[in-house]
Amino acid sequence: MRVLVTGGLGVNGSWVVRELVGREHEVAVFENRRDLSLVEDVAEKIELIVGDVRDADAVTGAVSRVRPDCVVHLAAFVSCETDPHTAIAVNIGGAARVCEAAAAASVRRVVYTSSKAVYGPTTGARGYPTYAPIVEDDERRPRGMYDITKTAAEDVLDWYARTTGLECVSLRFSTIYGPGKLQRHGALAGFGQQISVYSAMVELPASGRSFALDHGADERDDLIYVLDVADAIALVASAPGPLRHRAYNVSSGRAISLGEFADVIRRAIPGAVLELGPGLNPMDAKESAYMVLDRTRMEEEFQWRPRYDPDRAVRHYYEHVTARRP
């Protein structure tokens, strides 16, 4: 199978590219940069096309050149609250340009990497202390600009599916963690949008530093390791069609507290020092986005389950970052 991956040099995209190459697919990457640092081990096996998803001609040219069977669309802008205009242009406009080019070239399928963000803030039974699993047909309630752009991009895909016959599918991921965040996004100070708290909890002890939060150990979330993300994307991209649904939750399907995750890290990393105070909302977010996604649909249609539980994931994470340490 020939696959075009937008955003394939990013933190998550690099693992998707690696998984597709490992499955012996022909892989081309459409990116707005030439930084191959996260895919060095497979760089010789991929074709890199430099361009911006805001440029319709560049997107059309890439699709025409590659003639893919499937486009995996990961390219995204995440600083949505501080730059909403770019967020709309990249996240919504980019999805439209990818679908337009794919439909014109008779591409078989577009797989879009969506997010739990489409479900919006967690309130009532969805949140603490019950964390009732959210299914794909539950109401989407986006509030933040990132949530809004992800939801709108899903709607763009649905419109192209209805009007052109292009098969479009959105994969809604729970909280993703995995290697690459520190290397790509830099300093961990303050965490913020630079790196997820879960990745910081692994990467600080892995480099011999301590991790501390004065509250939040009781907060629970649905975590999925980036290798399981890549596996799910590759599986859906290559599945025979037609698919039964246009949206699928991709998650562990269970809640783990920050304190429990810290215990996993202590088992995996010798001498790891993590100090967490009790309570909820470790990042002091205005609205809670901690939730559990029901993955039954993925399991029933694709027989997919995560391969990496937290213990296995953190061991792999630790081994990966230490092996790459200078």
pLDDT at 192: 43
Helix (H) or strand (E) holding 162: helix 145-164
pLDDT at 182: 65
Helix (H) or strand (E) holding 218: none
* Cα–Cα nearest to 19, from 320, 173, 228: 228
Q: Taking CA 188 as the corner, what is the angle to CA 187 and CA 192, rounded to the nearest 5 degrees?
A: 115
pLDDT at 258: 97
pLDDT at 183: 63
Domain-by-domain residue ranges, the chain? 2-178+223-255+291-308, 181-219+256-284
Helix (H) or strand (E) holding 147: helix 145-164
Q: Alpha-carbon distance 277 to 211, whole Å?
A: 12
pTM for the model stands at 0.95
What number of H helices and E strands is found in the chain? 11, 13
pLDDT at 190: 44
Residue ranges in the chain modelled with pLDDT below 70: 182-195, 326
Q: Taking CA 304 as the corner, what is the angle to CA 318 and CA 179, rounded to the nearest 5 degrees?
A: 20
Tokens of 11: 């933190």
pLDDT at 189: 43
* Cα–Cα nearest to 39, from 65, 8, 62, 66: 8
Give the residues across from 247 on adjacent strands: 170
Look at the domain 2-178+223-255+291-308 and name its fold.
Rossmann fold (3.40.50)
Antiparallel, parallel or unpaired: β 256-257 and 26-31: unpaired
The answer to whether the beta carbons of residues 95 and 156 sit under 8 Å apart is yes
Tokens of 151: 């939801």
The answer to whether the beta carbons of residues 148 and 142 sit under 8 Å apart is yes
| Residue 298, amino acid | M
